[in-house]
Amino acid sequence: MLSVSWWLQLKARSRSTFDGVLTLIYPMFFSTTIFMMYSQGHASSSAMVATAIGASTMSIWSSVSTTAAMSMQAERRMGTLELLVLAPRPLALLLVPLIMSMATIGVYSMIVTLLWARYVFGIVIHIADPLSFLVSLVVLVLSIAILGVVIAAASVRYRGAWALGSTLEMPVWLICGFLVAISDLPSWVRPLSWALAPTWGMSAIRAASDGRSPWADLAICVGVGAVYAVIGSLLTQRIVHAARVHATLGLT
């Protein structure tokens, strides 16, 4: 069910004008702005490589955050939200392939950003441990997807929750260390960073690219992601129950 639903959602997203423009324009827009900022500051080559990796992974979160919150509104407009809720599978499980399709598109955005950095800005990106880098990337994608499930679940009950994804897009990639070192953030922000799974996934990716061991960071990322999975499951159960009791699933 997960694989079939993922493939179906991926084909639907690939034919969406909004998602298509988002996938093509956002990576180049973000990366160009970021690379020009860092180059004006005369950053070192290692800093530019770290920036390129951070900008590329930022595309994954951007692909998930906005569209995850809007996905349930799209299902509501098409009249299929009720069918998803009434399906014999748990709603949280049905949201996983939907969000994973967006994260998969985000991986494409990541590749575009890395190629843009290499051939437009001349940033030579060297990955010291490609296998660990690939594993870290997969774990990061999964952690972002699970966080997207939690965001999408909030959109089931509240129509205005679609704005949640757009609101969280910039703060999350900022405090997760995609472009700015967490050590440079105010001390009160750091506990928020540690509570977000993408922080640890990003740390693992940087460690793998530098030749350091990423496994401790990956273990924490998996653990925090598992907590998200539990929260998402409980949240969808509670929201669906409340919507059924008040008969407000389609009209809230």
Is the residue at 252 inside a domain? no
Is the residue at 150 inside a domain? yes
Domain housing 84: 2-246
Name the residue type at position 220. Answer: I
Is the residue at 62 inside a domain? yes
Nearest to 69, CA basis, from 10, 150, 138, 152: 152
Question: CB count, 10 Å around CB of 83?
Answer: 11
Domain count within the chain: 1
Which pLDDT value is given to residue 224? 92
> Using CA of residue 220, residue 226, residue 232, residue 234, what is the dihedral sign?
negative
- Prediction pTM value: 0.83
Is the residue at 164 inside a domain? yes
Is the residue at 225 inside a domain? yes
Is the residue at 251 inside a domain? no
Is the residue at 222 inside a domain? yes
Q: Where would I find the beta strands (DSSP E) of 100-231? A: none
Is-contact 115 32, C-beta < 8 A? Answer: no
Is the residue at 228 inside a domain? yes
Task: Provide the residue-wise pLDDT of the chain in tens; the chain has 252 residues.
Answer: 889 988 988 888 777 776 666 667 777 777 788 778 777 766 666 677 777 888 778 878 877 777 776 777 777 778 888 888 888 888 888 888 888 888 888 788 788 888 888 888 888 888 888 899 889 988 988 888 888 887 777 766 666 666 666 677 788 878 888 888 888 888 888 898 999 988 999 899 888 888 888 999 999 999 999 998 888 888 888 877 777 777 766 654
